[in-house]
């Protein structure tokens, strides 16, 4: 039954996840999905990488969602990531000045994605990071991971998650390519498999 | 040897039996599919082999994942929730109304959040460039919609009944008719992408994607209920489908919602 009886907590059970399938590409990606930072903001960083399968082949049919705090560590609460144009029924893009903190980026034919966003600030006990959610054809349920930025080893060494995962921490820390550009590959399976997370 | 439906049926039965055995032995109910599910061939190289690393959200209420991106009126247009009105002409097919509530695990409504849908047309064809099924495209139907939930967590779409379609998992593989849903909660941890099915579809037992949800009760929760009260006289048939998001969320008091 799919009418949930909220008066009975035992009947409130989760709706199962399903794969996003192959044909979301005309539906979910939107104009400006990768341009999360306000236009020409001096705190802008570029993060990019490949999504790879268990044989190291890039996925041309995956997408990632990035979600991160503002540089001062606050959580963006502004909407407008996917502004729609009532005149044409198409997309307007972001408004150029507000920071929503969220973006959605489809991998290209080579399995590569990129985003420009603001350098995340620290929150709570964690070193600064961007939260990532990965979707793909063949992936029956999305996967969460995090992009930590390299630089301050003291801060990274104190991060609870990076400490917890030990030797696998390198899969969570982006590579510094200079000029505010960071490389972060997501390996779904096999050698160097990215650490994926389960929130409890 | 090309893979047949008989081969897939055997694998589905084996996965189901293995799940029954696990739960009989005291293992927890699995509300979601396992990411590695052999009958769905595309999952083979696309699921992690290492166990997921657990994060106890109770230890740090500041985690950004306990908050959700915000969506608002700017993110939708008037016709986004009516997929039959997005072109100059009427799409071919049976008009349907799909409505329900978006809830968290405590049964509380999730208000003002984004629900996106996409689907094949009535002939079972997606308006996607790489779609190779040679059923006709409908110039009056794109099959993409979005809406915000109201103050009771309710959503509402007008669309057309999607057709079933073939795919290449194995010989003679057909997907039961479905609508894809993408949903946000009050926390990023609650993010959900799934598919809604229609009651009594004869293709259910043959579909490795639906059957990847090995728990019988959980699988039922993906099937909408026909609701005569939602049917619009001389216009559309009504289907009711409530969505319950999994995953921990920030407390409401904190969020001020
Ligand atoms: Fe589909």
A149-173 pLDDT per residue, tens: 999 999 999 999 999 999 999 999 9
pLDDT score at B102: 97
B126 among known catalytic residues: yes
Tell me: the pLDDT tens digits for A106-126?
A: 999 999 999 999 999 999 999
Residues of A in contact with B244 (CB under 8 A): 4, 12-15
Question: In order of start, what are the domains of chain A with their CATH numbers?
Answer: 22-187 (2.60.130.10)
Provide mean pLDDT across the span A193-199: 98
pLDDT score at A41: 95
CA B196 to chain centre: 5
B168 among known catalytic residues: no
pLDDT score at A1: 53
Q: Which of B37, B165, B206, B239 is catalytic?
A: B165
Size of interface A-B (CB pairs under 8 A): 274
Q: Which of B126, B155, B197, B239 is catalytic?
A: B126
Provide mean pLDDT across the span A36-44: 95
Q: How far apart are CA B201 and CA B178, in angstroms?
A: 10
Q: Do A15 and B49 touch (CB under 8 A)?
A: no
pLDDT score at B63: 96
8 A C-beta contact, residue B241 and residue B221? no
**Other CB atoms within 10 A of residue B49 CB:** 11
Is residue A49 pLDDT above 80, yes or no?
Answer: yes
Q: Do B75 and A143 touch (CB under 8 A)?
A: no
Q: Is A75 on the interface with B (CB under 8 A)?
A: yes
**Other CB atoms within 10 A of residue B17 CB:** 11
State in Å: Cα B128 to ligand 1 middle.
11
Cross-chain CB nearest to A24 (options B118, B194, B215)? B118
Q: Do A54 and B46 touch (CB under 8 A)?
A: yes
Q: Look at B217 and A3; give whichever has higher pLDDT.
A: B217
Residues of A numbered 3-32 whose beta carbons fall under 8 angstroms of chain B's beta carbons: which are they?
Answer: 3-4, 6-7, 9, 12-28
Q: Do A14 and B188 touch (CB under 8 A)?
A: no
State in Å: Cα A20 to ligand 1 middle.
8
Quote the minimal CA–CA distance from B245 to chain A in Å. 6
8 A C-beta contact, residue B103 and residue B244? yes
State in Å: Cα A22 to ligand 1 middle.
7
Question: In order of start, what are the domains of chain B with their CATH numbers?
Answer: 5-44+66-244 (2.60.130.10)
Residues of A in contact with B54 (CB under 8 A): 197-200
8 A C-beta contact, residue B170 and residue B154? no
Angle at CA B116, nearest 5°, toward B189 and B138?
150
State in Å: Cα B179 to ligand 1 middle.
7
| ipTM of the complex model | 0.97
Q: Is B141 left (phi over 0), alpha (psi -120 to 50) or beta?
A: beta
Q: Is A47 left (phi over 0), alpha (psi -120 to 50) or beta?
A: beta
B41 among known catalytic residues: no
pLDDT below 50 — which residues of chain B? 252-257
pLDDT score at A89: 86
B31 among known catalytic residues: no
Q: Do A18 and B105 touch (CB under 8 A)?
A: no
Is residue A62 pLDDT above 80, yes or no?
Answer: yes
């Amino acid at each position: 039954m799919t009418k949930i009886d909220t008066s009975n907590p035992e009947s409130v059970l989760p709706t199962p996840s399903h794969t996003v399938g192959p044909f979301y590409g005309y539906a979910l990606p939107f104009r400006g999905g990768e341009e999360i930072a306000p236009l020409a903001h001096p705190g802008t960083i570029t993060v990019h990488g490949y999504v790879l399968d268990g044989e190291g082949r890039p996925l041309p049919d995956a997408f990632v969602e990035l979600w991160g705090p503002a540089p001062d560590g606050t959580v963006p609460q502004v909407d407008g990531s996917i502004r729609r144009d009532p005149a044409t029924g198409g997309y307007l893009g972001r408004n150029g000045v507000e920071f929503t903190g969220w973006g959605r980026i489809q991998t290209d034919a080579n399995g590569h994605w990129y985003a420009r966003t603001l350098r995340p600030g620290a929150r709570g006990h964690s070193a600064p990071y961007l939260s990532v959610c990965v979707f793909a054809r063949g992936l029956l349920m999305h996967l969460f991971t995090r992009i930590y930025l390299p630089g301050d080893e003291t801060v990274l060494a104190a991060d609870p998650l990076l400490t917890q995962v030990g030797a696998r921490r390198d899969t969570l820390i982006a590579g510094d390519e200079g000029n505010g550009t960071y490389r972060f590959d997501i390996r779904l399976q096999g050698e160097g498999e990215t650490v994926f997370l389960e929130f409890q | 040897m090309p893979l047949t439906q008989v081969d897939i049926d055997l694998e589905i039965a084996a996965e189901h039996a293995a799940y029954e055995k696990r739960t009989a032995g005291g293992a927890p109910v699995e509300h979601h599919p396992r990411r590695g599910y052999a009958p769905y061939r595309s999952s083979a190289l696309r699921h992690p082999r290492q166990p997921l690393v657990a994060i106890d959200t109770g230890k740090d209420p500041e985690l950004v994942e306990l908050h959700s991106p915000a969506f608002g009126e700017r993110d939708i247009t008037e016709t986004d929730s009516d997929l039959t009105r997005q072109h100059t002409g009427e799409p071919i097919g049976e008009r349907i109304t799909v409505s329900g509530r978006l809830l968290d695990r405590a049964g509380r409504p999730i208000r003002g959040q984004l629900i996106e849908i996409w689907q094949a047309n009535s002939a079972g064809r997606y308006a996607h460039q790489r779609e190779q099924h040679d059923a006709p495209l409908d110039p009056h139907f794109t099959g993409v919609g979005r809406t915000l939930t109201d103050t009771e967590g309710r959503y509402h779409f007008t669309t057309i009944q999607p057709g079933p379609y073939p795919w290449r998992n194995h010989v003679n593989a057909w997907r039961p008719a479905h609508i894809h849903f993408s949903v946000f909660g009050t926390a990023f941890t609650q993010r959900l992408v799934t598919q809604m099915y229609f009651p009594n579809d004869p293709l259910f037992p043959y579909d490795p994607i639906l059957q990847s949800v090995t728990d019988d009760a959980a699988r039922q929760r993906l099937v909408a209920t026909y609701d005569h009260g939602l049917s619009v006289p001389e216009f559309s048939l009504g289907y009711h489908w409530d969505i319950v998001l999994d995953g921990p969320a920030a407390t409401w008091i904190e969020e001020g919602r």
